[in-house]
A and B are shown apart, each in its own frame.
Chain A
Amino acid sequence: MSAELKPTVTVSPSARPQAALPTLGMVRGIYAFWRRNALVWRSNWIAACFAFVLDPAVFLFAFGYGLGAAFTTMSGMPYFAFVVPGMMGLGLLYTSFIECSYAAFFRMEAQRTYHAILATPMALGHIVAGEILWAGTKATLSSSFILLVGACFGGVLTGWHSLLAIPVATLTAMAVGAMALLLTSVSRRIDDFNYAWPLLVTPMLMFSGTFIELARFPVWVQMVGKCLPLYHGVEVMRMLTSGHNLVLETVWAHIAYLVAIIIVFGALALARLNGRIFK
């Protein structure tokens, strides 16, 4: 091999790829990363679907029966109708959190997928946005299935516009995913996610009005719950599937909060990952 064929530019994780190669446009870059995750997922989709689609449906059945016997009505609606959007929230919370925490950390640290991708004309922003979008996509599948099951058993009180709960689920999942990705960016090892369960995931699950309305808890717990994105998502989904207290201004306010969470936490995660990967 002659000397001039040797690469003059070495692309290593320590050099920003933009310096070496033209970067893809934003939409193409994000789509490329999203598609990478989708292709990996597709190879095992039957086994994967089992956990995050069937599991929340079993929860729906269990809570509908088990807690439904204790609470006949909640927030002025039958308990089953109350719990359907709550279980959509549970499904999207677990799916999206695990995708952007354990799975993302595994891709970054064990497989070094991010480093490999950054050696191509992709930017770190594409990875962060693609990761959050992919978590949203997976969670959408899970939430839609619960909505379908809930509708079949009479848990959806409104008509077709209850379908609007699905994009809300996507948005909520992306907000959760953005928060999880920030945790990923600061975790030193995979066991650090153990802290996230008692400090983030369980409070979100319990105090977002998923299966017990928030008003039953002390005021300080309600304040904590209202800061977390899942509360806002579940509130909007519940308005859409039950038709109770459906006020358009409130819906937009909740959605604006979710979008703000996605942007703020996504940007923080991007900044932290930038410091971590290109140090």
Chain B
Amino acid sequence: MSTTPERGRQTMLGGIAAIWMRHYRVWLRIFWPSVVSGILNPILFLFAFGFGLGAVVKQVGDISYLHFVVPGMIANAALFQSSFEASIPSYTRFRIQRTYEAMLAAPLFFREVVYGEILWAASKGVLSALCLYLVAWAVDGLGSLSGALISFPLVALSCASFASLGLVCTAYARTYEYFSFFFVFWITPSLLFCGVFVDPAAYPQWLQWATWFFPVKHLIEVIRPLCAGLSVDWTMVALHMAYIMAFMFICAAMAARRMAKKLFD
């Protein structure tokens, strides 16, 4: 690594916080467009699916369709926002604006830049999820408020996992067009086959197995009973969360490795 910050710094927290603050201050300039679309868009989706599908699918398993679809939408909003933020916008900073090089000219470690990026993207996912929790709470879409409160930190933790995958794509992409793969192999299957709007039981068996690869499926599996107020098997919750965390560590390591190669070789 070519960067040598001042000697004797004990933790990376200060550096990560500095990166996060930089992104936050840039984002403040587009505060309104982000929040308006973050709140209005899920309302429209809830309305359309509530009317359209909810009229036909009244009940999924033990819960009403509204209680079924709300956790799915929370997970999906978290997934989309956090991994998207780490994809095309990060790529713009990394390759086009050369923000990373500029940051590395400051007394910062390379890993602080990467982790700051992931933390920032995850924060945007958390904000999106928060918007959805509010909308869901307003339309009585949360069966159990305490369950929803417990689910929130789990969603926040998963956001870091989603963001790391986005950053892997940023690290490997050569042009903007490469993000097609990100959408086709990550965003779309996560939305369609992981049980966001429809019970995945409708799909063929092989597809149901294959989609366990996607962390969002594990997250939905965890937060759906929590938000609906059903009984929860905590061992399974721990296992699902362990998968999501493992996914995060692998992706973050892959992204950091590849980015270091592109920056320093």
With A47-B178, A55-B184 known as contacts, the answer to whether A202 contacts B30 (CB < 8 A) is: no
Chain B residues lying within 8 Å of A207, measured Cβ to Cβ, are 48
**Contacting residues of chain B (193-216) with chain A, CB-CB under 8 angstroms:** 193, 197-198, 202-204
Pick from A51, A67, A203, A217: contact of B180, CB below 8 A: A51
Interface string of A178-197 (1 = CB under 8 A from B): 00000000000101101101
Binds A, one of B35-43, B147-155, B231-239: B35-43
Complex alpha-carbon distance, A217 and B50, angstroms: 10
Residue of A nearest to B182 (CB): A51
**Cα distance, A30 to B220, chains bound together (Å):** 49
Question: In the complex, are the beta carbons of A192 and B53 less than 8 A apart?
Answer: no
The reply to whether A70 and B53 contact each other, CB–CB distance below 8 Å, is yes
- Chain A residues near B178 (CB, 8 Å)? 47
Asked whether any CB of chain B lies closer than 8 Å to the CB of A1, the reply is no
**Contacts of A198 on B, CB cut-off 8 Å?**
36-37, 40-41, 43-44
Q: How distant is A47 from chain B, measured CB to nearest CB, in Å?
A: 4
B4 within 8 A of A: no
Report if A69-B202 is in contact (Cβ < 8 Å); known contacts: A197-B37, A216-B51.
Answer: yes
Flag if B53 contacts A212 (CB, 8 Å).
yes
Closest to A201 in B: B41
Check if A194 sits within 8 Å of B192, measured CB to CB: no
Instruction: For the complex formed, measure the closest distance between the CB of B29 and the CB atoms of chain A, giving whole angstroms.
Output: 8
Docked-complex contact B30 and A69, CB < 8 angstroms = no
Q: Are B192 and A217 in contact (CB under 8 A)?
A: no
Contact A191 B53 (CB under 8 A): no
> Is the Cβ of B41 less than 8 Å from the Cβ of A197?
yes
B157-191: which have CB < 8 Å to A?
Answer: 175, 177-181, 183-184, 188-189
- Whether B52 is near chain A, meaning CB under 8 Å from some CB there, is yes
- Given the known interface contacts A194-B33, A216-B51, the answer about A66 and B44 at a Cβ–Cβ threshold of 8 Å is no
B180 with A50: CB separation less than 8 A: yes
How many A residues face the partner with a CB closer than 8 A? 37
Q: Write the nearest CB–CB distance from A222 to chain B, whole angstroms.
A: 11
Are the C-beta atoms of B44 and A203 separated by less than 8 Å? yes
CB distance from B44 to the nearest CB of A (A): 5
B253: interface (CB < 8 Å)? no
Q: Please give the distance in Å from B131's CB to the nearest CB on chain A.
A: 12
Per-position 1/0 for A71-101, Cβ under 8 A of B: 1000000000000000000000000000000
In the assembled complex, the Cα of A75 lies from the Cα of B212 at a distance in Å of: 35
For A218, list chain B residues within 8 Å (CB): 51
Question: Are B181 and A47 within 8 A (Cβ)?
Answer: yes
Are B40 and A70 neighbours in the complex by a CB distance under 8 Å? no
- Bound: A47/B203 CA distance, A: 28
A191 and B34 contacting across the interface, CB-CB below 8 Å: yes
Distance of A47 Cα from B178 Cα, bound (Å) = 6
B56 within 8 A of A: yes
A-B contacts besides A59-B192, A65-B202, 18 pairs, CB < 8 Å? A44-B175, A47-B178, A47-B181, A50-B181, A54-B184, A58-B192, A65-B204, A66-B198, A66-B203, A68-B202, A69-B202, A71-B56, A192-B33, A195-B36, A195-B37, A198-B43, A198-B44, A206-B45
Closest A-B pairs by Cβ, 5 of them: A198-B40, A212-B52, A51-B180, A62-B192, A194-B33
